[in-house]
Structure 1
Amino acid sequence: MGPLVALGVGVLLEVKQATIGRLPVAPEIVLSVLVLALAFVTVFITLRHAEAIAHRVGEPYGTLVLTVAVTAIEASVIVSVMLGGDQNPTLVRESVFSTVMIVCGGMLGICLTLGGLRHNHQELKRQGTSALLSVVVALSVLTLILPDYTLTSTWGTFSRMQLVFVSTLCLLLYGSFLFAQMTRHRDDFLDDVFSGGEDEHTPSNDSLGKSLVLLAIGLIGIVLLAEYVASALEEGLAALQIGQTDAIVGAFIATLVLMPETVSAIRASMNNELQRSLNIALGSACATIGLTVPVVAAITLFTGTDLTLGLGAGDTVLLLLVLAVSTISFGTGRTTVLTGLVHLVIFVAYLMLIAVP
């Protein structure tokens, strides 16, 4: 029922966009809050249907269904906001950067802190985690830092040939990660002991066809709802003359998309399944960069719009710091509460620099 409601409300917002734009400030704020709440609820319901499909089709196709569902939401929202109204050439950069900071700072920080408080210390597979981190580091540097140092185009951007080349590398890297995780090196990404946590909460009574239909409806509804909220947020920030508009909108998009995976990762860590928690968290970062950037790059090349990927100096320092700390944190194969607190401190610094750049 949730996806149908989201689609109906989303279509109504698109049709009545001009009328809604003439509403007084207070009613429009209330409407935006209600739409935002509906979008979050629909994300959880839609991904639950994606999980149901994943369980029915089995691996490796199940993981691909979940990945495509999450990435489709983020890419569609970014593209719709980028192409609607004034162009936002830095929105992709801010969304991807926010995803890495939320995953490696906030999500991992919460998981390691809560898991450490409950279990004192937790064990992980160094082989699988190192492979995950290497992919995240390579993708992050190639897409967010390298554009600042190329000479063919202006600062922070790639030329058309460079953009095609880097997008292809992103797809190849992510494809290699999937191949390693689901075939040849699958054991490197599995917990040694399964704790029996209650994470299987997928709807079991729906048929595969029904789940597929509701998944598609939910994705369209989320895109329409998120586009309205992101546009309203962008306009509101501009009206209040608040800087960092794209950074705040990018953080909102990343938070919306990562919320269900954050809950799953925290639940796994609390059940002492740290490796599964890391797979969920770092895997979502891999998917965001490895799939979203190529999709958005292809659309910008086709439409001729501008795309700025290179980070500023301050954000570059934060990105390198969180990636370096992540590499050190998981190098010993064991984590504690202190490990999680270090990640949370970096995440708080990221939030502070959004509010006070």
Structure 2
Amino acid sequence: MQAARVTVGAVLFPALALGLAAVLMLGELWIARIPASIDFVPPTLAAILLIGAVFAALQHAEILGAKTGEPFGTLALTIAVTIIEVAIMASMIEHGHEDPTEAREAVFSAIMIVCNGLVGLCLLLGGFRHHEQEIQPMATSAYLAILIALSVLTLILPDYTTSSYGPTLSTSQLIFVSILSVLLYSAFLFIQTVRHRSYFIDVHVAAEGHGAAKPSRLMTIVALVGLGASLLGVSLLAERVVPGLEEALRWLGVDDVNRVTGAAVAMLVLLPESMNSVRAATRNALQTSLNGALGSVVATIGLTVPAVAILSLATGREIMFGLDKRDAMLLLLTLLLSVVSFGAGRTNLLTGLVHLVVFATYVFLLFVP
């Protein structure tokens, strides 16, 4: 097998993203004079370069992962995705300060997209090609235990607390839940990378990986620098893209802009890693596929929620985490379905189809609430 390599796009997009970010910051007065008929050009260009930088970040993270091996490779991708999501979510909170639901919608969207859309697609395509696929029951059990605990504590519990008004957590409750999230995710990382690392290694990948060439030291350094540049570019351009996206949705007449924006942001951030998960499922490496998919959503809750809590406490802006009844039911259905799907240790295309039906329901309700 050939070693991973850095493509031209992985170098070009981060450089262009940083260059455009510098131009936008230094040329505020010049940009303000752009005619209204073409004022969409800067945010559109920023969106294109942001998407390219996201893909570049994931490619660099993949090279670093190839150097360290599994499950650290998947972990590198997951951490990169989380940093990108936190950066974009911070921009959403900064721009939409009048509505405190942005973080909730982004986190909930990530769960629905991964646990129903991505997982369903992986199971469907993998089952169609290989009939049945095996997974590590102990690994999926660990993922689901963390996912259930974190999602219920952060998205369901705020609806039932009484120390604050509405579906919110008081300051002390927010700090407590954030600490629990970090502790649970840290414990999960210890299990995944140290104590029970073998649970998360796909037998098919292990068999194929003996002949794989690892990236050189120079390639690893280039990937490390490229990853930092990509993440910085995404963070800076997100400040321009998120407001433009929300304004475009309002112009199109979308009723609930925050829900659709949250779904769009989650889909953008998860797209590169989703492609890796789908490819792994089609080559019968379902455990590797689930490591990327479920790992990303566990990190989204375990790391993003505390980061958003810090932003909330630092800025004094209220954050609503509690879901309404409709979304709470969809979340509970997703968690229950996930337990049933992975409980037997084997999956088929029917399992994937059921997940995709729930995902289609979620998408439909975005536009027809």
Q: Structure 1 pair 19/238, CA: closer, same or farther in 2 (3 Å)?
A: farther
Decide whether the 8 Å contact of 1:14 with 1:224 is kept in 2.
no
Q: How many correspondences in the alignment?
A: 355
Equivalent residue of 1:153, what SS?
coil
Decide whether the 8 Å contact of 1:55 with 1:62 is kept in 2.
yes
User: Could you tell me which of 53, 58, 62 is aligned with 1:51?
Assistant: 62
Q: CA deviation at 1:149?
A: 0.4
Q: CA deviation at 1:125?
A: 1.2
Structure 1: which 4+ aligned runs deviate by more than 6 Å?
200-203
* Counterpart for residue 95 of structure 2: 84
Q: Structure 1 pair 329/241, CA: closer, same or farther in 2 (3 Å)?
A: same
State the alpha-carbon separation in 2 of the partners of residues 132 and 353 from structure 1.
27
| 1:159 correspondence with 2:180 | no
| 1:37 correspondence with 2:48 | yes
* Counterpart for residue 326 of structure 1: 338
* Counterpart for residue 7 of structure 2: none
| 1:268 correspondence with 2:251 | no
State the alpha-carbon separation in 2 of the partners of residues 88 and 203 from structure 1.
46
Q: CA deviation at 1:333?
A: 1.1
One-letter identity of the residue aligned with 1:187: S
Q: Structure 1 pair 63/347, CA: closer, same or farther in 2 (3 Å)?
A: closer
* Counterpart for residue 147 of structure 1: 158
One-letter identity of the residue aligned with 2:20: V
* Counterpart for residue 179 of structure 1: 190
Equivalent residue of 2:317, what SS?
coil
Deviation per CA, 1:323-349, whole angstroms, max 9, x where unpaired? 111111111111111111101111111
Q: State the percentage of identical aligned residues.
A: 48
Q: CA deviation at 1:67?
A: 3.2
Moved more, 247-256 or 200-209: 200-209
One-letter identity of the residue aligned with 1:321: L
Q: Structure 1 pair 316/20, CA: closer, same or farther in 2 (3 Å)?
A: farther
Deviation per CA, 1:199-249, whole angstroms, max 9, x where unpaired? x89975844443332222111111222332211011233345532111111
Q: Structure 1 pair 204/225, CA: closer, same or farther in 2 (3 Å)?
A: farther
Compute the TM-score of the two structures, normalised by the length of structure 2: 0.89
Deviation per CA, 1:276-301, whole angstroms, max 9, x where unpaired? 11111000001000001101101211
One-letter identity of the residue aligned with 1:161: S
State the alpha-carbon separation in 1 of the partners of residues 179 and 296 from structure 2.
19
Decide whether the 8 Å contact of 2:71 with 2:192 is kept in 1.
no
Q: Structure 1 pair 311/53, CA: closer, same or farther in 2 (3 Å)?
A: same
Q: CA deviation at 1:172?
A: 0.9
Compute the TM-score of the two structures, normalised by the length of structure 1: 0.92
State the alpha-carbon separation in 2 of the partners of residues 11 and 88 from structure 1.
29
State the alpha-carbon separation in 1 of the partners of residues 124 and 134 from structure 2.
14
State the alpha-carbon separation in 2 of the partners of residues 35 and 118 from structure 1.
39
* Counterpart for residue 290 of structure 2: 278
Decide whether the 8 Å contact of 2:110 with 2:297 is kept in 1.
yes
Q: Structure 1 pair 147/340, CA: closer, same or farther in 2 (3 Å)?
A: same
State the alpha-carbon separation in 2 of the partners of residues 203 and 17 from structure 1.
42
Equivalent residue of 2:189, what SS?
helix
Deviation per CA, 1:295-331, whole angstroms, max 9, x where unpaired? 1101211221111101111111111111111111111
Q: CA deviation at 1:51?
A: 2.6
User: Could you tell me which of 296, 308, 311 is aligned with 1:296?
Assistant: 308
Equivalent residue of 2:203, what SS?
coil
One-letter identity of the residue aligned with 2:47: L
Unaligned runs of 5+ in 2: 1-11
* Counterpart for residue 4 of structure 2: none
Q: Structure 1 pair 5/140, CA: closer, same or farther in 2 (3 Å)?
A: same
State the alpha-carbon separation in 1 of the partners of residues 360 and 71 from structure 2.
36
Q: CA deviation at 1:21?
A: 5.7
Moved more, 96-105 or 295-304: 295-304
Question: Pairwise CA RMSD of aligned residues?
Answer: 2.4
Equivalent residue of 2:271, what SS?
helix
State the alpha-carbon separation in 2 of the partners of residues 145 and 124 from structure 1.
29
| 1:212 correspondence with 2:254 | no
Q: Structure 1 pair 272/64, CA: closer, same or farther in 2 (3 Å)?
A: closer
* Counterpart for residue 312 of structure 1: 324
Decide whether the 8 Å contact of 2:112 with 2:334 is kept in 1.
yes
Moved more, 83-92 or 169-178: 83-92
Q: CA deviation at 1:109?
A: 0.8
| 1:248 correspondence with 2:260 | yes
